[in-house]
Amino acid sequence: MKKRLKNKELMELPTLLINAATVCSSVLLSGCVNIEWRGGMTPSLNWKGNGNESVLSTHNAEAKDFRLKGKSTTADWPDFRGPDRLGIAPEQGVDIDWQTEPVTLWRQPTGRGHASVIIAGNRCYTLGQQGEFEELTCASMQNGSTIWNYQRKERWNDSMGGPGPRSTPVYFKGMIFYLSARGMLTCLEADSGKKLWEQATLDPDYDYPHWGIACSPLVFENMIIVSPGGDSGAVKSYDVETGKLVWTAELKGAGTYLSPSILSLLGKKFLTVAVEGKLCGLDPVSGKTLWEYPWKIFMNNAQIAQPLELSDDVFLLSAGYGKGAEAIRLKKNPNGYAKEKVWKSKNLKTKFSSPILRDGFLYGFSENSLNCLDATTGQLRWRGKKYGYGRILLAKDKLLILGNTGTLSIVEASPDAFEEIASHQVLSKERCWNGPALVGGYLVVRNGSEIACYDLAKH
């Protein structure tokens, strides 16, 4: 039975609320805490450190029998969400120990922001905010030491996302490409950090999305493609060698937080991008719009999760803010392309983390809980734990979930039942929206203050 408040208690309630608000206000005004949004609509209060962008101590342990070679290979993690942007780790070449506490190889401070890590050869790269500068750092995978860094004076900060870049760099043929939170596309030499070229991708009167430019640049053939949105060409393509503009799409519309990607449907490659209220399929060679699909969300430019191929003619769209997921069949007709809804579900309301497809089943967050759906029918197979608004990658038959408080959880990728087999605290508990990377049995994770590498191999 619920306890009823007495009249005296009811009379005292406003005073208690005022006192609580006063205490909270005093703490905030004292500068001791940050208000931090973690993906839901309720903020967290977090104690500040000493006020620097990077405040953690360095921990290095030189790896014995280090397994990664200096040259980039097909087993790298060169892009946002890894090879082909699918969130699926390449073959590791070693046996993984999923049960034991992972061995810390190294830990280093890093700048603020939500960029993920990429790995090429025996180096890792990431973006972070250092004071008034966006900084791209190249570090050794063997011990975490900085090999070089490149800084550009630029700073993005907003009330919910905080400071720092949102976009993830990409590695291609000895070059690193990154897009700043204010739309500057830069190409660096991967070995040295030397700037090869840069291009401003936005017009001076560009209307920024609330949380800044978040799309990660995409390499297609010899082009680098960005999709910041806008009224003077929402998508642009540049030559990777020279930085010269190759094409500007006629597509217009306010930008979203979706990164461009390639979907192979009906035997053809489509460049998929989003502007406010719709997903579009473009010809990646010319930038011509081939089809559009209406996709309105409660917060219309808040599309973040990537579209996903389900078959040779069906793809998946999913979003948070109450939207859910839809499977769409693409059909060729004399007038172009028709779109047909195959199924829809409210059990896959993805916000920051894109779903994973394995053996005909989808694994992804519905808001902050992990769910499994049948990719053919959309039927819910199971509902798992709440992990916060984290990120997922697939390694063989295991889901690696980096929760938004820095916890790494290992879950069986099976439609039969939810089964978590291990959980480890791998980062500090501050907000983590940054995606993990896994190469050669080495897992690299980061948040807005530290980056760490763990050896998951059996010894």
pLDDT digit string (tens) for 288-316? 999 999 998 876 567 789 999 999 999 99
Q: How far apart are CA 40 and CA 355, in angstroms?
A: 18
pLDDT of 212 reads 84
pLDDT confidence bin for 64, thresholds 50/70/90: low
Q: Where are the alpha helices (DSSP H) in 254-333?
A: none
Query: What phi and psi, each to the nearest 5 degrees, are found at residue 373?
Result: -125, 150
Give the per-residue pLDDT at 73. 79
**pLDDT tier at 93, thresholds 50, 70, 90:** confident
For tokens 């608000």, name the residue.
21
Candidates 351, 67, 350; CA nearest to 362 is: 350
Model confidence at 33, in pLDDT bands (50, 70, 90)?
Answer: low
DSSP letter string, 179-237: E-TT-EEEEEETTT--EEEEEE-S-TT----TT---PPPEEETTEEEE---BSS-S-EE
CA distance between the termini of the chain: 55
* Mean pLDDT computed over 319-332: 94
Residue 231: its pLDDT value, please? 86
Using the Cα atoms of residue 276, residue 280, residue 283 and residue 284 in order, give the sign of their dihedral. Answer: positive
Looking at the DSSP bridge assignments, the partners of residue 289 are 282
Sequence-distant (6+) residues with CB within 8 A of 215 are 167, 179, 226, 227, 228, 255, 256, 257, 258, 259, 260
| Whether 233 contacts 278, CB under 8 Å | no
For the CA atoms of 268, 274, 278, 283, the dihedral, rounded to the nearest 10 degrees, stands at: -30
Higher pLDDT, 208 or 40: 208
Give the pLDDT of residue 221: 96
Q: What is the pLDDT of residue 453?
A: 98
| All structural domains of the chain | 71-455 (2.140.10.10)
**Residue 177 bridge partners (DSSP):** 170, 187
pLDDT at 428: 93
Q: How confident is the model at residue 383 (pLDDT cuts 50, 70, 90)?
A: very high
Confidence category of residue 2, pLDDT binned at 50, 70, 90:
very low
Per-residue pLDDT for 16 more than 70? Answer: no
